[in-house]
Amino acid sequence: MKNTLEFQLYGDYALFTDPLTKIGGEKLTYDVPTYQALKGIVESIYWKPTLFFVIDKVRVMKPIQMESKGVRPIEYRGRNTLANYTYLKDVCYQVRAHFEFNFNRPDMTFDRNEGKHFNIMQRSLKAGGRRDIFLGTRECQGYVEPCTFGEGKGFYDNYEGEIHFGTMVHGMNYPDETGKNELEVRLWKPVMKKGIITFQRPEKCTLVRKIKEITPKHFDKTNVESADSLAHKIGGE
């Protein structure tokens, strides 16, 4: 199945926020990107409700370094607040992901065309994505370009042993992917070996907590237009 996506992701700053640090208004980044952050970036490159993306691996290409900044968050009550945010600095990653058809969305059966989605996805990647790329938060602009995962020299390639990052947020479970009308959060304990973190699949995560009940938006031919139909309209104008 032609469904693999490999790309390089880079930017000046990144903020993959540890939610425990947001309680007091501060923000501290995780050392490495979360599964959910990378999934959001992949969906900014290309997304359709027919698909769901699985992040397989991330390769850390540059040394993990941080920088703290004093920022003034938007304060709607008129107060002049100063907060301290700690960012990752000068980041670069290689990411390998793949898409699968979402069988929890029978309303999108008509759109299950592997070749079409693969080709559009590759073109979207070469164009830098369909939407803006953000490295965790909106103020951290990111950039993507095609690459071959594993090529090039990475900072941690020759590091012997494992690097453990403790318990981190893995991602979110949404009803259109799980078939349950619930929003859940997943936790896990990532380990980096020679600069590479291999992600658990979402369904393999055992630390899962329910947040609330939600229902997915329904898609069918009445509110989704095919590429062939759009091309015919454009050609007829």
Q: Give the tens place of pLDDT for each residue, 81-139.
A: 788 899 999 999 999 999 999 888 887 888 888 999 999 999 999 999 999 999 999 99
Cβ atoms within 10 Å of 194's Cβ, excluding its own: 15
pLDDT band at 178 (very low <50, low <70, confident <90, very high): confident
DSSP H or E stretch at residue 119:
helix 114-126
Gap between the Cα atoms of 125 and 200, Å rounded: 24
Gap between the Cα atoms of 78 and 9, Å rounded: 37
> Looking at residue 125, what is its pLDDT?
96
Q: Give the tens place of pLDDT for each residue, 184-219.
A: 999 999 999 999 999 999 999 999 888 888 887 776
20 has a pLDDT exceeding 90: no
pTM of this prediction? 0.84
Gap between the Cα atoms of 194 and 202, Å rounded: 23
Q: Give the tens place of pLDDT for each residue, 54-85.
A: 999 999 999 999 999 988 777 766 666 788 89
Residue 50 and residue 101 in contact, taking contact as beta carbons nearer than 8 Å: yes
Q: What is the mean pLDDT of the chain?
A: 89
For the chain, domains (ranges, CATH) are 4-159+196-202 (3.30.70.2660)
